[in-house]
Amino acid sequence: MSTVAEPIAPGRVVELTAKEEERFRSKRRRSDELWKQARQVIPRGVPSSFQDAAPQPVFIDHGKGSRIWDVDGNEYVDFHNGFGVMVVGHAHPVIVQAINERAARGTHFAQPVADDAVVATELARRFKQPQWRFTNSGTESTLDAVRLARAFTGRERLIKMEATYHGHHDSLMVSVEPPPELFGPPDQPASVPWSEGVPKAIVDLVSVVPFNDLEVLERTLQRHPDQVAAVIVEPVMMNCGIVLPDDGYLEGLRTLAHEHGALLIFDEVKTGVTIDPAGATGRFGVVPDLVCLAKAIGGGLPCGAVGGRADVMGTIDAHKVVQIGTFNGNPLTIAASKTALTSVLTPAAYAHFDALAEALEGGLRKVMSDYQLPFHPITLAARGCVTYRKERVRNYRDYLTIDKKYAYLSWLYQCNRGVLMAPGAEENWTLSVQHSEDDVLRYVRNFEEMAKALTS
């Protein structure tokens, strides 16, 4: 299949990228200085390697509502939103008030507080899982979910999808971005560690299957009878653009997992409370055995939660599974989380996300059609992305056929014209309750300018 956009002259994307990189650098001198200083004491000059993306990190000074300002004074409509955390928008008045009130009464005791159960009750209502425990990140949520599944089933093997990211603990740092020379055949992908330092013994406990392929999953389950503790899936893959599940796929996963005595874990760290009040569970109507949450549930503070079936979570009651953490249920996080979930992310907020998504998607489709660009947009309430290919992407290997140069050029175009997207070609946008229609149309206008330049 051709991945070259036909109305676009060969070399045009490279030429425009060079121009935009120069414009980017000329307006980000202070970021560059800070980055150089930081590299003296921080590897790659950033607190998390995800933040070091080409052309260089943009250092942020502050944010308010839908906007953020960098240290050079450039203002942006924030489409990054802290990798999908800030669906409440920046410095939302009621969240600020909740944090201030809690801070004035003490921020940490490592003792339970009354609001723990309020947040758990709201998560139970949304995700249809009766029991919850708190963590401090998505990584901790999937780590605990995997441990719960292994303890409950008495099995050790995990099945994950090729190219899903579930956090940075050893058990799931497998085949996150496997290179083609290592990833093996599509009907039996290899298990490829994502980082040095992950023990081979742990990698060998993970079988990898393609997303949207129940046949390969079934054969994999059959190859490992009575060994698989859980199938873990990001129900909409959101770390290689956005990859939607086929109709019936999530239901099929649950049926197959259960037929083979395994649990189904949804990693809703990105989808939870952003694509629907109840994430993919709500949007697609499939309730798994365990759900992992983080990011947007915390009102902007470090957070995480794992919820599940009463019998599975009962392994904690029975003192079989040790689920612990000094900061679990931190009162400051719980205060922000309670306010975000009960006062900000209301039904009206989701109606607002849908209206913004419609405006964005409609605008982008029109530009793509006017300029005959072989791309397509995907929107799911607060989330969305442009896929730089005409046909739908169904799995990682489809995704690899896309020319990443377009995503990078688009990132530069947006950044240079006041819209900050999450860094990385594989990323998508997250909107907030404080974004207006005019904010999102800025993205469309910038996209049209790029379309015009690409096709001229």
What stretches of 64-137 show up as alpha helix (H) in DSSP? Answer: 81-84, 93-104, 115-127
Task: Give min distance, CB of 172 to ligand PLP, in A.
Answer: 8
Residues in a beta bridge with 77:
67, 419
Collapsing DSSP to helix, strand or coil, 17 comes out as: helix
Task: Give min distance, CB of 294 to ligand PLP, in A.
Answer: 4
Task: Give min distance, CB of 328 to ligand PLP, in A.
Answer: 14
- Which residue has 């906007």 as its token pair? 67
- Which residue has 């197959």 as its token pair? 256
Peptide bond into 180 cis (omega under 30): no
Task: Give min distance, CB of 428 to ligand PLP, in A.
Answer: 10
Going by DSSP bridges, is the β-strand pair 228-233/206-209 parallel, antiparallel, or unpaired? unpaired
Work out the angle between the directed axes of helices 331-339 and 115-127 (0-180°, nearest 10).
50
Task: Give min distance, CB of 351 to ligand PLP, in A.
Answer: 25
**Which is nearer to ligand PLP, 166 or 383 (by Cβ)?**
166
Task: Give min distance, CB of 271 to ligand PLP, in A.
Answer: 8
How crowded is residue 135: how many other Cβ atoms within 10 Å of its Cβ? 26
Residue nearest to ligand PLP (CB): 138
**Which is nearer to ligand PLP, 314 or 325 (by Cβ)?**
325
How crowded is residue 356: how many other Cβ atoms within 10 Å of its Cβ? 23
Task: Give min distance, CB of 135 to ligand PLP, in A.
Answer: 9
- The yes-or-no answer on residue 295 being catalytic is yes
**Which of 116, 144, 213, 267 is labelled catalytic?**
267
Contact assessment for residue 388 and residue 402, using Cβ atoms and an 8 Å cutoff: yes
**Which is nearer to ligand PLP, 65 or 279 (by Cβ)?**
279
DSSP H or E run through 141 = helix 138-153
**Which is nearer to ligand PLP, 191 or 239 (by Cβ)?**
239
Give the residues lining the site for ligand PLP (CB under 6 A): 83, 137-139, 142, 165-167, 234, 239, 267, 269-270, 294
**Which is nearer to ligand PLP, 137 or 434 (by Cβ)?**
137
Q: Which phi-psi region, left, alpha or beta, contains residue 264 (left: φ > 0; alpha: ψ -120 to 50)? A: beta
**Which is nearer to ligand PLP, 28 or 270 (by Cβ)?**
270
**Which is nearer to ligand PLP, 28 or 166 (by Cβ)?**
166
The span from the CA of 272 to the CA of 380, in Å, is: 12
- Which residue has 């365990």 as its token pair? 290
In Å, how far from its chain's centre is CA 455?
32
The span from the CA of 32 to the CA of 53, in Å, is: 13
**Which is nearer to ligand PLP, 291 or 454 (by Cβ)?**
291
- Which residue has 């307006």 as its token pair? 27
DSSP H or E run through 304 = strand 304-308
Residues in a beta bridge with 68:
63, 76
The span from the CA of 244 to the CA of 238, in Å, is: 9
Q: Which phi-psi region, left, alpha or beta, contains residue 195 (left: φ > 0; alpha: ψ -120 to 50)? A: beta
- The yes-or-no answer on residue 165 being catalytic is yes
Q: Which of 7, 72, 82 is nearest to 416 (CA)?
A: 72
**Which of 295, 371, 396, 399 is labelled catalytic?**
295
**Which of 165, 399, 406, 413 is labelled catalytic?**
165
Task: Give min distance, CB of 237 to ligand PLP, in A.
Answer: 8
Residues assigned a catalytic role: 165, 267, 295
